[in-house]
Amino acid sequence: MIPLIQRYDFFGFLKLALDVIITKILFPSARIVRHPFYIRGRSFIKIGINFTAGVGLRLDAFPDNQQNCIKIGNNVQVNDYVHISAVESLNIGDNVLIASRVFITDHNHGLYGGLLEHSDPNLPPAKRKLSSSPVYIGDNVWIGEGAGVLPGVRVGKGSVIGCGAVVIRDIPEYCLAVGNPARVVKKYNFQTEKWEKT
């Protein structure tokens, strides 16, 4: 194994050391949260042990009540420029891996479908009523680069969300989903121990 000092140049190693120190002060149970990061509503966010975050992490929690609206499990790793935002309920299970530039949210500015009232497009988006629906991401999920997970979605444990996928509906357990909107293209077969086309 290559020694840590050899994997980084001198200044990279110093930055890593500083990030570790800041992490242990601000997030004692985390592995490392790289600087810069932005966290709004920290008192409404619960993060499990061994959390790892790349640079540019953004967590926004602004619920209507006093309960945790973002819950992140143990051994979760998020890479650079991940944005997670919630007003109601957004749960991420254990051992989840999230690639860079992923957006996960439980809410939307306005209402655009269903039987409920619809938002007036002449009203500025920032002034439209927030709508929300819980998001759940199961254990051992891997979310690929540039993906989006939108309100009301449940991603089953062991599933993979491909790069650039936009998840607008539930993804069952042990499935591989790709595209915009995301659709299941493979499911893991525990008897053959292979990912098989659906």
| Residue 41 counted as domain residue | yes
Q: How far is CA 41 from the centre of its chain?
A: 16
Structure confidence at residue 114 (pLDDT): 73
What's the pLDDT at 113?
79
- What is the structure's pLDDT at 15? 86
24 within some domain:
no
Do 152 and 134 touch, CB atoms closer than 8 A? Answer: yes
Instruction: Say which CATH number the domain at 133 has.
Output: 2.160.10.10
Q: Classify residue 18: in a domain, yes or no.
A: no
> How crowded is residue 141: how many other Cβ atoms within 10 Å of its Cβ?
24
Asked whether residue 132 is domain-assigned, the answer is yes
* In-domain check, residue 142: yes
Q: Is 8 among the domain residues? A: no
User: Residue-wise pLDDT tens for the chain (198 aa)?
Assistant: 656 556 667 777 888 889 999 999 999 999 999 999 999 999 999 999 999 999 999 999 988 777 889 999 999 999 999 999 999 999 999 999 999 999 999 999 998 877 778 999 999 999 998 889 999 999 999 999 999 999 999 999 999 999 999 999 999 999 999 999 999 999 999 999 999 999
Q: What is the pTM of this model?
A: 0.92
Residues taking part in catalysis: 109
What is the tally of structural domains in the chain? 1
Asked if residue 31 is part of any domain, the answer here is no
pLDDT at 50: 97
Residues 6+ apart with CB under 8 A from 9: none
Which residues constitute the domain of residue 105? 36-197
Query: Is residue 7 domain-resident?
Result: no
